[in-house]
């Protein structure tokens, strides 16, 4: 057992190094793009192209793993990502960056798929919740910590790109070092159409779409927003790190809230509160830009609320479908989130280009207000459905990486039990 846990920790270290380098690169590209004179609309498209590559990876990564195996697939994508990271400094051109960014998104999410499918193959039921929680925590900590690496050097130089490449390349070492045998698992996920998911839980689909439309621009364009406020690189790093950490701390109270109320209403209240916070951020950006602490606090609360929308939506879906459809339904929600992440940055980037620095929170306000109305209409039209006791679920903070992370969700234990009983009965 001890050797298995040590091997799993090697996978955790690999994903931590990957996220540390990739998250640094994501912020770094926006800062370098600003220095090179790239427009806000182009930087928005650049972020969208990244999520397009990620979407393609979720469709192709399983076939790559079957063909090459986990370690060789991870090695291939690591080399690809390391080359892409350095290529940004060699080809400082909008067209070149679009191609490189698409390839980067593909490589990163293919690596996610490798690590997550491997973890799934080694995850025992007794440790499922613990492993899932640690994995989520590692994701958030790596993203927050990566921003502090911006303090090392200026974005206009080569040092930070080299550091990002080193970190990403170093992620192959724990994978290569582990003596754990590669899992012999089928990484294909069963499908459940988005229309069927929408019929079962329209609020869950709406929530995931809103989450993608907000979090895509948040991850990709926040550096552009903060730079427009006149923040230094040190202040920018602190702003993003504190926003993510503050958001992580809010996951538990929001989750407890959603466990005690109708989750549909919690999602609606979260959207309404998000509207108020987005309006406050836009107002402060225009009239109180010097109030760094106030804007950071608003951003942290806003981030915490929006981060919670996706897992609440997943749990709401779990309570509305049969347990053996958990992974398929959640995978469809992830696709909806990916669609929002692809579209959102482009719209927000154009808004920043033509409307100025306050356009990003104004975009948040517009999206949240529109979908608050849509969600209200859905709640009015929908009838209240009693949730069977065996479908009751609890909120679990989760990440949005690849469909292969979903079997680590604690609710998946019940899926395995149901499948085993069905097999025995047959």
The pLDDT value recorded for residue 388 is: 46
Residue % of the chain over a pLDDT of 90: 31
382 with 275, same domain: the answer is yes
196 with 164, same domain: the answer is no
Averaged confidence pLDDT in the chain: 81
Query: Would you say residue 385 has pLDDT above 60?
Result: no
Q: What is the pLDDT of residues 356-366, one digit of tens each?
A: 878 999 999 99
The pLDDT value recorded for residue 392 is: 55
The pLDDT value recorded for residue 381 is: 78
The pLDDT value recorded for residue 259 is: 75
Q: Residue 320 phi/psi, 5° resolution? A: -110, -5
The pLDDT value recorded for residue 401 is: 64
In a domain, 412, yes or no: no
Total domains in the fold of the chain: 2
Question: What's the average model confidence in pLDDT over 280-302?
Answer: 89
250 with 376, same domain: the answer is yes
Euclidean distance between CA atoms 347 and 334, whole angstroms: 20
132 with 228, same domain: the answer is no
**Among the listed ranges 49-53, 128-132, 161-165, which one has the minimum average pLDDT value?**
128-132
Domain span including residue 296: 189-395
| CATH number where 184 lies | 1.20.1250.20
268 with 345, same domain: the answer is yes
Query: Would you say residue 421 has pLDDT above 50?
Result: no
Question: What's the average model confidence in pLDDT over 154-173?
Answer: 92
Which has more confidence, 156 or 396?
156
Query: Would you say residue 344 has pLDDT above 70?
Result: yes
Q: What is the pLDDT of residues 5-54, one digit of tens each?
A: 666 788 888 889 999 999 999 999 999 999 999 988 899 999 999 999 98
């Amino acid at each position: 057992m001890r050797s298995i846990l040590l091997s799993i920790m090697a996978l955790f270290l690999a994903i931590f190094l990957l996220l540390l380098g990739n998250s640094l690169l994501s912020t770094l590209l926006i800062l370098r793009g600003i220095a090179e004179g790239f427009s806000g609309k182009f930087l928005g498209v650049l972020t969208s192209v990244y999520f397009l590559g990620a979407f393609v990876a979720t469709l192709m990564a399983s076939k790559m793993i079957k063909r090459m195996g986990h370690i060789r697939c991870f090695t291939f994508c690591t080399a690809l990502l390391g080359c892409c990271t350095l290529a940004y400094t060699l080809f400082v051109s909008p067209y070149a960056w679009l191609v490189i960014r698409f390839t980067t998104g593909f490589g990163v999410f293919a690596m996610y798929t490798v690590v997550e499918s491997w973890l799934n193959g080694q995850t025992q039921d007794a440790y499922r919740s613990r492993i899932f929680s640690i994995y989520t925590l590692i994701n958030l900590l790596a993203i927050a910590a990566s921003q502090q690496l911006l303090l090392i050097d200026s974005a206009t130089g080569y040092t930070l790109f080299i550091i990002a490449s080193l970190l990403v390349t170093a992620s192959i070492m724990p994978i290569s070092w582990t003596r754990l045998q590669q899992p012999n698992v089928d990484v294909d996920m069963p499908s459940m159409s988005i229309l069927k998911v929408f019929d079962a839980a329209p609020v869950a689909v709406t929530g995931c779409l809103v989450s993608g439309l907000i979090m895509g621009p948040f991850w990709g364009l926040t550096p552009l927003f903060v730079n427009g406020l006149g923040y230094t690189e040190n202040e920018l790093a602190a702003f993003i790190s504190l926003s993510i950490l503050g958001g992580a701390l809010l996951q538990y109270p929001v989750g407890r809230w959603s466990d005690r109320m109708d989750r549909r209403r919690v999602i609606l209240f979260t959207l309404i509160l998000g509207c108020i916070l987005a309006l406050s951020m836009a107002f402060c950006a225009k009239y109180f830009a010097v109030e760094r602490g106030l804007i950071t606090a608003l951003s942290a609360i806003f981030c915490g609320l929006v981060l919670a929308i996706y897992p609440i939506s997943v749990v709401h879906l779990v309570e509305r479908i049969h347990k053996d459809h958990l992974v398929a339904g959640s995978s469809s929600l992830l696709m909806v989130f990916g669609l929002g992440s692809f579209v959102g940055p482009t719209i927000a980037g154009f808004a920043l280009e033509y409307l100025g620095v306050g356009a990003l929170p104004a975009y948040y306000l517009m999206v949240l207000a529109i979908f608050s109305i849509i969600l209200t209409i859905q709640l009015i039209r929908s009838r209240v459905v009693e949730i069977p006791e065996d479908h009751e679920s609890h909120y679990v903070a989760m990440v949005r990486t690849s469909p292969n992370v979903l079997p680590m969700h604690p609710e998946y234990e019940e899926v395995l039990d149901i499948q085993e009983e069905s097999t025995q009965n047959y």
